[in-house]
Amino acid sequence: MIQKKNEHWFSMLFIWRGSVLPQLLPRLSLLFLISVGIVVLKGTLFNFKIPLSPAPFTLFGIALALFLGFRNSASYDRFWEARKLWGALLNDTRSLARQAITFSGYHRDGKEVDTFLKYLIAFTYALKHQLRGTDAAEDLRKRLDPVLAEKLSTAIYKPIMLMKEMGIWVQQAKENGKIDTILQTAFDENLNKLSDIVGGCERIASTPIPYTYHILLHRTVYIYCFLLPFGFVDSLSWLTPFIVIFIAYTFVALEAIADEIEEPFGLEPNDLALNAMSEMIETTLLEMGGKPIPDYGKNKLGILD
Amino acid sequence: MIQKKNEHWFSMLFIWRGSVLPQLLPRLSLLFLISVGIVVLKGTLFNFKIPLSPAPFTLFGIALALFLGFRNSASYDRFWEARKLWGALLNDTRSLARQAITFSGYHRDGKEVDTFLKYLIAFTYALKHQLRGTDAAEDLRKRLDPVLAEKLSTAIYKPIMLMKEMGIWVQQAKENGKIDTILQTAFDENLNKLSDIVGGCERIASTPIPYTYHILLHRTVYIYCFLLPFGFVDSLSWLTPFIVIFIAYTFVALEAIADEIEEPFGLEPNDLALNAMSEMIETTLLEMGGKPIPDYGKNKLGILD
Amino acid sequence: MIQKKNEHWFSMLFIWRGSVLPQLLPRLSLLFLISVGIVVLKGTLFNFKIPLSPAPFTLFGIALALFLGFRNSASYDRFWEARKLWGALLNDTRSLARQAITFSGYHRDGKEVDTFLKYLIAFTYALKHQLRGTDAAEDLRKRLDPVLAEKLSTAIYKPIMLMKEMGIWVQQAKENGKIDTILQTAFDENLNKLSDIVGGCERIASTPIPYTYHILLHRTVYIYCFLLPFGFVDSLSWLTPFIVIFIAYTFVALEAIADEIEEPFGLEPNDLALNAMSEMIETTLLEMGGKPIPDYGKNKLGILD
Amino acid sequence: MIQKKNEHWFSMLFIWRGSVLPQLLPRLSLLFLISVGIVVLKGTLFNFKIPLSPAPFTLFGIALALFLGFRNSASYDRFWEARKLWGALLNDTRSLARQAITFSGYHRDGKEVDTFLKYLIAFTYALKHQLRGTDAAEDLRKRLDPVLAEKLSTAIYKPIMLMKEMGIWVQQAKENGKIDTILQTAFDENLNKLSDIVGGCERIASTPIPYTYHILLHRTVYIYCFLLPFGFVDSLSWLTPFIVIFIAYTFVALEAIADEIEEPFGLEPNDLALNAMSEMIETTLLEMGGKPIPDYGKNKLGILD
Amino acid sequence: MIQKKNEHWFSMLFIWRGSVLPQLLPRLSLLFLISVGIVVLKGTLFNFKIPLSPAPFTLFGIALALFLGFRNSASYDRFWEARKLWGALLNDTRSLARQAITFSGYHRDGKEVDTFLKYLIAFTYALKHQLRGTDAAEDLRKRLDPVLAEKLSTAIYKPIMLMKEMGIWVQQAKENGKIDTILQTAFDENLNKLSDIVGGCERIASTPIPYTYHILLHRTVYIYCFLLPFGFVDSLSWLTPFIVIFIAYTFVALEAIADEIEEPFGLEPNDLALNAMSEMIETTLLEMGGKPIPDYGKNKLGILD
């Protein structure tokens, strides 16, 4: 994710990086050229005047803006829900760490606690890799006991299998007389929440906005923009290409952003900073456990990726 | 559900499968023919000029877009809530499975745990069949003890009766000294959530958006579209049929999509992938229980149906 | 509530039952007649030309559509929240029934359980009657012990008094050694939820959308519609009455629907099917308790009323 | 709060009470007079024609309607959230009352229960007075033991201090062997919810919608309305004042309503009926405790204030 | 945060403080001058007539208003969620304080309770400083034991480390026989909530609305406003600069407000009153503990900063 800088209002008009403009440039250039052609031909095609006026464009442009607004809100809601889930992951792993550290006598002899913290950290990385479809092996090997890392390597749902290990850890703490069943259920409630987080992320990753919406809106936005020059050539004359590009840029860019943030677990510039967030969770859990913290060179609120 | 592919922006304009265009083709063709007729007759009917101008269409088109936007959001919210409920089903069955496996000594002798996992899996399939109004018998027979499968065959609310069995299983685990009442309530809380999920799905399946909205919007959308050619024939001349079809396509298609996703448990192309999601729940529960996993040939996030 | 049928798109244009058209017919007829009069007089009043053009109507029509959209969403949210509360009632009574059946040894000797199920069913009917302002006496007499039914007959908040009885039932089960305090709190949490459901329904029933909104929007919608023919008579000529009725129908009907679903506990055609839902809750609870189920002749998802 | 009556659609157009019209009359009259002046001068000022056309008004009027829609939704959400909090207060005090009555042996000897019910009722009135900035002394004196009433009179956060007393009551019940720690936590969870309700109300009362929004929208609405006659005088001629007042009424009234319901704990006609709701809570708690109920002469759902 | 005063509707039009007008003055003045230039040149540039008409501005202005509305809602939601989190912080610290005071025998001998209250108060200040990126050292030194204050000075996540101390405090209370494990979990649940609050605030502080939205909307708003005079110079003549400034003010101001409240933890005039809210939490916790209250000279609902 690209971070906001406090730009001057004027210089912000010319920002390039972080804008979707670069990726849209080819199609906007094409539209510009077509508009120029239409201006030159004065809105005729094969000596045939195209009888388009601004009226239907006004009507339809506003309707289109409304539908695009819906698509945009739905995409943003997915992005923000995904962020909330990763925020909840931070909160919940911290709560589980606090329980492991303070309940029972473990906060005096940290060995068992260390194992639990490792599970939590490995869980976070495993979830990140599952959502991105990347290979978790290396991150798990670095953080887990080799036997467990090996066992997990063939698991389909690695984070869930790690949660099972956490459940067994809690059960053994009870059998060792460190906690009683009451504290076990306190752990268990936070494990339930962890399960909700995993499933919530899987839901967003696996169920996009119905594809028909994509097609319908994509189609209407582009046909609309490519018809625009015909509608305005009579009234705007040589200014047509500039105004058309200005209007088309907004519509097309909004559709492109909505498309990007709709899948918030990807690797595009506006997707969530899963790397930075995983490292932040690792940092805060290690700090709670009084362990040395790796230097990830990131700011502590975990914005940049 | 049809999955999103990363199409080129240009080729996406010509996609056929996954679009609602095929089903709308007959009515749009009818509208096209009528428009052509109106162009030929220059907007007269029985030598009588129809005095329609674009002004009322602009006013009303935008109002219609607003109302359609409301209908669309309400439908999408139902679709997404249904998806969330099935996501919660995944989370909750996993949590119950973790509890059954790790609490008590059962994770050393898995026989009792197997029974519980079978209940959870059968529950999922029973819910799917109830929501779709299909016959659960075969799916239950394959996964349950024959006596129970037989007993369930006459039950009206099969998932609820299975939950009662789970409750009895938990009670017996307590009576056998495997868990205490504290762990019993931990199970019980997740069973409460399961009850909420069943009821939530039943609510969406049984209570559509008030039917009056359907009629009102359907009626207005179609009358509007069929009046459009009269309004634009004077200014757009021979282009009328094309522009009318373009505008009508968007309005009519949006109404059609909203209609489809409003009932997310159906079998239409944009409905939820209940089969794939049931198989995914089965897979993850069996993996947690260390059982062999049937090969459903689906990707592990459960998108396609 | 009227159920959706899968109508053909064309025949749906002529549906009568389930539409608000019948109730609006007198006022729309009046508007039609006035419009005809205006056409005949060519927009003059006492030989005085009314100088109205479409411009202010476009501006104001869209603003009105926006405000109407707000009113509509707020009404629909009330309708849907009310439905959710009755859905939660179903879930929660099922959970309480499961607890009464499986906890303790009662599922072997169902007499005490029967009493509790009766409380739950009577509670549901008592809530329905309180919300509709109808007399609960007969429904309670049929389902409860005569002494209790008599005692409740003078209670102001009958569902709450029934919940108190449930609380005493749970306390006695503890005193009889059937459950311990831990299971008592598991019951108690579901009773808390039941309390939230009652209060939520009372809130919707007792606090309408601020009345000023009603007056303001009602007034603007009707004045707007009755001014419409003056604005369009010059451009639309003899078509004015038809177009005016078409536009007015949509605005007025939307206001009428919003008005109807805003009070979802009433008896109008688009209100919630409280009868069917009460019977569904009764059916599922009796099935869980293994009791004979009365034949209500309804489908099992409880749609029709 | 003013209650909705089932008015005829036609007579509703002339309702006076409950409408914001009276309070807006002076400013609308001023606008009317100015419009008349503009008509007389035919849109000139010091013999100087003001060159305003309807075009910028259409553009800006719709934008303004959108922004006003946002302000309105935000205000309504605050109103409805405040209502939900008071609904939750009803639910939660009933739940606490049920716990105090049924847990332990207190429901056989009600003296201790009476004290607790008094705390709950006094708490409700204390909250009402804190939110309205009025003096709670009399209401507390009537309902509490004199020593406690005296002690509370100097407290800054009276409801919170009463909750502390409830917590001590629960602790003493445990020390007297009436309840065990498990039931104590059941009470405690409902006290947590009570704390959330107090804080939620304080949040709404203390944090208005950012003031800049008020100024910006207020300013734009009024400048817009006072410019309107210039824009329409050429096309609407002598009708200008009437149409301008009609449009201005809707915009200005919507802003006025939003302003009123934004602070739902006030004493304006559309604010929440805190008096009636406090009395309703008192009634239902006293009925649960089997105490005589004061006759507040209100309907039992607590609408009127 | 600036507080709302009950201004007269007329004088509110001329308010300066609390409005974003001052900060926008330079750019609006620039736009005014440009508009005057365009009027003088009658819309020509180098003797070249710019052929812009109001039509594309109407179309695009409404689309822009829609997109701005989305941006605005998203920003306001962040502001309000941040406020809710600080409201929850108030509720939760009060609940924890109530538990510390009433559970166990501590409410008779307050020394241990004092330590816990200090933790809660220091936690609040530590969170405020972390969110604002300011130095917490002084506030912690004033409120905590020097050893702990020293230890925290190097911590990255100070509030989390303080929560760990609270967890240890609770564990020691159990080991000292003051509370049992059941009450320990009651504390623990509120500590979980505290963890959710910290993480929620960190989420809002670290993840802005995707930056691409900023650029896109900022760019479109400003280009639109600077093109406006060309579009209206023909129809509005010498009035152009005034109308353009009026329209531009609303669009630009709305974007500026959205930008400001989007980061609610900052120090700009419309940001949250974190100072006042921290002092309010301190006040209420000290009052609960029966301690002397510092005079912060603020009203008790914590509005002003």
The string of DSSP letters for chain D reads -PPP----TTGGGG--TTSSHHHHHHHHHHHHHHHHHHHHTTTEETTEE----HHHHHHHHHHHHHHHHHHHHHHHHHHHHHHHHHHHHHHHHHHHHHHHHHSGGGGTSTHHHHHHHHHHHHHHHHHHHHHHT---HHHHHHHS-HHHHHHHTT-SSHHHHHHHHHHHHHHHHHHTTSS-HHHHHHHHHHHHHHHHHHHHHHHHHH--S-HHHHHHHHHHHHHHHHHHHHHHHHHHGGGHHHHHHHHHHHHHHHHHHHHHHHSTTSSSTTS--HHHHHHHHHHHHHHHTT---------TT----
The whole domain housing E191 covers: 77-205+274-288
Same domain, A151 and A280: yes
Question: Does the pLDDT value for residue A44 go beyond 80?
Answer: no
Query: Of residues B60 and E303, which shows the higher confidence score?
Result: B60
pLDDT band per the 50, 70, 90 thresholds, residue B269: confident
Helix residue spans in A106-210 (DSSP H) = 111-132, 137-143, 146-153, 158-175, 181-206
Tokens of C96: 């309480």
Of the candidates A207, A178, A256, the residue with the CA atom closest to the CA atom of residue A19: A256
- The answer to the question of residue D168 being in a domain is yes
Asked if E234 and E167 sit in the same domain, the reply is: no
Residue length of chain D: 305
| Residue-wise pLDDT tens digits, B13-23 | 777 666 677 88
Q: What is the mean pLDDT of chain D?
A: 87
> Given this model, what pLDDT does residue C107 score?
60
Q: E70 lies in a domain?
A: yes
D84 touches E: beta carbon within 8 Å: no
Q: C212 to each of B149, C208, C235, C251, how far by Cα in Å?
A: 58, 11, 35, 19
Q: Determine the average pLDDT of the residues in E219-245.
A: 89
Using CA atoms, how far apart are residues E77 and D210, in angstroms rounded to an integer?
12
**Residues E139, E281 within the same domain:** yes
For C244, nearest residue in chain B (alpha carbons): B56
DSSP E304: -
- What region does A197 belong to: left with phi over 0, alpha with psi -120 to 50, or beta? alpha
Tokens of D25: 């009359």
A45 has which bridge partners?
Answer: A48
* Min Cα–Cα distance to chain B from C46, Å: 26
Alpha carbon distance D221, D251 (integer Å): 7
Q: Note the pTM of the prediction, 2 decimals.
A: 0.92
Answer yes or no: do D219 and E12 touch at CB < 8 A: yes
B169 contacts: CB under 8 Å, gap ≥ 6? B112, B115, B116, B119
What is the C-alpha to C-alpha distance for residues C213 and D1, in angstroms, rounded to an integer? 13
C-alpha distance across the termini of chain D, in Å: 6
Are B221 and C109 spatial neighbours (Cβ–Cβ below 8 Å)? no
Q: How far is D76 from D260, CA to CA, in rounded Å?
A: 10
* Residue C12 falls inside a structural domain: no
Does residue B213 belong to the interface with chain C, where contact is any CB pair within 8 Å? yes
Query: Is the pLDDT confidence value at D166 over 90?
Result: yes
The per-residue pLDDT for A6 is 62
Chain A residues whose CB is inside 8 A of the E74 CB are 76
DSSP string, B21-33: HHHHHHHHHHHHH
Q: What is the mean pLDDT of chain A?
A: 87
Report residue A45: phi and psi, to 5°: -130, 120
Tokens (6 digits) for E242:
């005034």
Quick one: how many helices (H) and strands (E) in chain E?
10, 2
Q: Which residues pair with C139 in a beta bridge?
A: none
Residue D174 lies in a domain: yes
Q: Say how many C-beta atoms besides its own lie within 10 A of residue D294's C-beta.
A: 10
Does any domain span residue A304? no
Among B25, B212, B235, B267, which would you mutate to test the C interface (most chain C Cβ atoms within 10 Å of its Cβ)?
A: B212
Q: Could you report the per-residue pLDDT of D233-263, keeping only the tens digit for each?
A: 888 888 889 999 999 999 999 999 998 889 9
The structure tokens 């075009």 sit at D55
Identify which of E32, E224, E228 has the alpha carbon closest to the alpha carbon of residue A13. E224
pLDDT at D298 over 70: no
Structure tokens at C273: 């099917």
Per-residue tokens: C80 = 């849907």
- Give yes or no for C170 touching B (CB within 8 A): no
C197 touches chain B (CB under 8 A): no
Residue C26 included in any domain: no
- Whether residues A178 and A193 share a domain: the answer is yes
What's the alpha-carbon Rg for chain A, to the nearest Å? 27
In Å, how far from its chain's centre is CA C37? 40
Using CB atoms, pick whichever of C10, C18, C236 lies closest to residue B212. Answer: C18
Say if the Cβ atoms of D91 and C200 lie within 8 Å: yes
Q: Which chains touch E (3+ CB pairs under 8 A)?
A: A, D
pLDDT of residue E304: 39
Question: Under an 8 A CB cutoff, do B167 and C302 touch?
Answer: no
**pLDDT digits 0-9 by tens, E19-78:** 677 888 899 999 999 999 988 887 676 667 777 778 888 888 888 998 999 999 999 999
Cβ atoms of E239 and D227 within 8 Å: the answer is no
Residue of higher predicted confidence among C109 and E145:
E145
pLDDT exceeds cutoff 90 at D41:
no
Query: At residue D9, does pLDDT exceed 90?
Result: no
Give one DSSP letter per residue of C82-126, joined into a string. Answer: HHHHHHHHHHHHHHHHHHHHHSGGGGTSTHHHHHHHHHHHHHHHH
**Nearest CA among C122, C119, C117, C124 for reference residue C100:** C117
The CA angle B238-B241-B246, to the nearest 5 degrees, is 130
- Collapsed DSSP state (helix, strand, coil) of residue C279: helix
Residue D208 makes CB contacts below 8 A (sequence gap 6+) with D214, D262, D263, E3, E4
The residue among E208, E269, E264, E274 whose CA lies nearest residue E79 is E264
- Overall average pLDDT of the A44-53 stretch: 72
The answer to whether residues C282 and C62 touch, using CB atoms and an 8 Å cutoff, is no
Report the DSSP beta bridge partners of residue E217: none
pLDDT, tens only, B146-165: 999 999 999 999 999 999 99
E211/A88 CB distance under 8 A: no
Most E CBs within 10 A among A95, A296, A305, hence the mutation to make, goes to: A95
Spell out which residues of chain B touch residue A199, defining contact as CB-CB under 8 Å.
Answer: 87-88, 90-91, 94
- Taking the C-alpha atoms of residue C125 and residue C159, their distance in angstroms, rounded to an integer, is 9
Q: Determine the Cα–Cα distance for residues E90 and E189; give it in Å rounded to an integer.
A: 16
A292 touches chain E (CB under 8 A): no
How many CB atoms are closer than 10 A to CB A177? 9
As a whole number of angstroms, the distance between CA A43 and CA B20 comes to 32
Residues 120 through 149 of chain D touching chain C, CB cutoff 8 Å = none
Q: Is residue B239 within 8 angstroms of chain A, CB to CB?
A: yes
Residues E184 and E113 in one domain: yes
* Domain count for chain A: 2
Query: Touching check for C117 and chain B: CB below 8 Å?
Result: no
Do E87 and E137 fall into the same domain?
yes
DSSP string, D121-153: HHHHHHHHHHHHT---HHHHHHHS-HHHHHHHT
- Residue E156 shares a structural domain with residue E90: yes
Please name the residue ranges forming H helices in B103-157.
111-132, 137-143, 146-152
Measure the CA–CA gap between A50 and D94, rounded to whole angstroms: 72
Q: How confident is the model at residue B74 (pLDDT cuts 50, 70, 90)?
A: very high
> How far is the first Cα of chain A from the last one, in angstroms, to the nearest whole number?
6
Q: Examine the domain organization and report whether A249 and A109 are in the same domain.
A: no
Of E10, E239, E247, the CB nearest to D52: E239
Residue B43 pLDDT grade (very low, low, confident, very high; cuts 50, 70, 90)? low
A91 or D177, greater pLDDT: A91
Contact E236, D57 (CB under 8 A): no
Residues 6+ apart with CB under 8 A from E133: none
Residue D179 lies in a domain: yes
Q: In terms of Cα–Cα distance, which of C295, C264, C267 is closest to C282?
A: C295
Regarding whether E199 and E90 lie in a shared domain, the answer is yes
B132, two tokens:
């779709």
pLDDT of res. D17: 65
Band of residue E18 on the pLDDT scale cut at 50, 70, 90: low
Q: Which residues contact residue C125 at a Cβ distance below 8 angstroms, ignoring those fewer than 6 apart?
A: C136, C139, C140, C143, C278
Q: B237 — alpha (psi -120 to 50), left (phi > 0) or beta? A: left
In a domain, E197, yes or no: yes
Whether residue E235 and residue D51 make contact (CB cut-off 8 A), yes or no, is yes
Give the separation between CA C220 and CA D265, rounded to whole angstroms: 28
Could you tell me if E134 and E194 lie in one domain? yes
D49, D93, D21: which is closest to D250 by C-alpha? D21
Which of E62, E161, E202 minimises the CB distance to A65? E62
Q: Is the pLDDT of residue A117 over 90?
A: yes
D1 pLDDT band (50/70/90 cuts)?
Answer: very low
Q: Is the pLDDT of residue C165 over 80?
A: yes
Torsion-angle region of residue C184: left (phi > 0), alpha (psi -120 to 50) or beta? Answer: alpha
Burial of A108: CB neighbours in 10 Å, binned 0-12, 13-18, 19+: exposed
Task: Calculate mean pLDDT across residues A35-49.
Answer: 79
In this structure, the answer to whether residues A182 and A229 fall within a common structural domain is: no
Verify that A199 and A220 share a domain, yes or no.
no
H, E, C per residue of A16-80: CCCCCHHHHHHHHHHHHHHHHHHHHCCCEECCEECCCCHHHHHHHHHHHHHHHHHHHHHHHHHHH
Inspect the interface and report whether the beta carbons of C4 and B192 lie closer than 8 Å.
Answer: no
Out of B88, B239, B293, whose CB is closest to A52? B239
Contact across the interface for A250 and E198, Cβ inside 8 Å: no
Q: What angle do CA E119, E121, E123 make, to 5 degrees?
A: 65
Report CB contact under 8 Å: C102, B167: yes
